[in-house]
Structure 1
Amino acid sequence: MSAVRLLVLGSIARRGITHGYGVHQDLTSWRADTWTSVKPGSIYHALEKLAAQGMIEPTDSGDSTKLGPARTEYAITGEGKQEFIRLLEAALKNNDFQMVAAGIAFMELLPRARVIELLEERLDSLHSTVTFLRTLPTQPIPADPSKHPELVGLWVGYFEYAVSSTESLLLALRSGSYLFIDEK
């Protein structure tokens, strides 16, 4: 699963109709390059691939007053909306930092109850991961990297933080923070 694909579809879904530079502007203003592996080239590659797959389609914005060279503008298709929702739901329960970050960026485009449900699934997975990581053997002088106490400690610490931050987000959502699509 690709965070870039989710981000590009999400940008187009939010804007309605946009061109590649509009998507680039969104992701740049969100500083998505600091929390995902998105780069300008990956945005345009994703646009081409999404168009070829029928997830987005070239469209006429109706703006006849534009100056300068013509730009291809895109709108998300029905199939693209389904793919966006599928990617968004998968991202919100994912343990990968980039994926969950991209999911949180668009979580308000789902109903609040669904987001809570997905984050609860993520939390269960995170708890299982922490439990497993704590069982890993370590050695003072490790024979291989997987038994290095500092490496195992890093993994445990990362996932414990993920548990804590997911619990905090769930608390905020349950207390009514943010405005979701089913509340507008």
Structure 2
Amino acid sequence: MMSAVRLLVLGSILRRGTSHGYAVLSDITSWHADTWTNVKPGSIYHALDKLESEGMTSSVTSDVNVKPGPSRKEYTVTKKGEIEFMALLESALVSVDLQQFSAGIAFMNMLSRQQIEALLQKRRIALETSIQFLRGLPMEELPSDPSKNPELVGIWVSYVENEAATTERILANVQAGKYEFNSKMMEGER
């Protein structure tokens, strides 16, 4: 889960250019990311601190104070953070984990169409390999252990088949030109 949170936090800051913690929280909340990941407000602030301590972001204290009290920290993504974002994004787009994949889809427009096609093809192949493996598992009508339960295996086959079909649909939409890709942010650096 942590890499999905890191991806969401870095992506939010990159989209804005400079952002404070509450704006990152507002972005992620407005995207309803809590419905398709396990992201929580506390994990967002923890990720902001961790990313800063790892040199992925840098912060300055804002001169503009919109409310009484301490000044806000404003974050920008460093070069190291941009590299981390790209690695997390690429990893998420090939992941068979639904939450990771969902976070990747949220930022897929930050890559080129060709990169997205290649990553989705890679995910599709991994899912097809998983389907074949699952279908080959031994099953027993009265299973001697849970791994041989036909209902359990059936759940996983159905889940992975659905993921493969979803990946195929997204890939077809990308290939049909349905989405615009704005990869200018990273093109010169790859």
Q: Shorter chain as normaliser: what TM range? A: over 0.9
Distance 2:184 2:117 in 1: 14
Q: Partner residue of 1:10?
A: 11
Q: Which runs of 5+ in 1 are unaligned?
A: none
Q: Partner residue of 1:77?
A: 78
Could you tell me the percent identity over the aligned residues?
A: 52
Distance 2:150 2:21 in 1: 46
Per the alignment, in what secondary structure is the counterpart of residue 165 of structure 2?
A: helix
Residues matched between the structures, number: 183
Per the alignment, in what secondary structure is the counterpart of residue 2 of structure 1?
A: helix
1:153 Cα deviation (Å)?
0.2
The verdict on how the C-alpha distance between 1:130 and 1:40 changes in structure 2, with shifts beyond 3 A counting, is same
Distance 1:36 1:152 in 2: 24
Q: Partner residue of 1:142?
A: 143
Distance 1:183 1:53 in 2: 25
Distance 1:110 1:118 in 2: 10
Per the alignment, in what secondary structure is the counterpart of residue 128 of structure 2?
A: helix
Deviates further, 5-14 or 52-61? 52-61
Q: Partner residue of 1:66?
A: 66
Distance 2:61 2:117 in 1: 37
TM-score, normalisation: structure 1:
0.94
Q: Which runs of 5+ in 2 are unaligned?
A: 186-190
Question: Once superposed, which parts of structure 1, at least 4 consecutive aligned residues long, lie more than 4 Å away?
Answer: none
**Aligned pairs for 1:1-184 within 5 A:** 2-59=3-60, 64=64, 66-69=66-69, 70-182=71-183
TM-score, normalisation: structure 2:
0.92
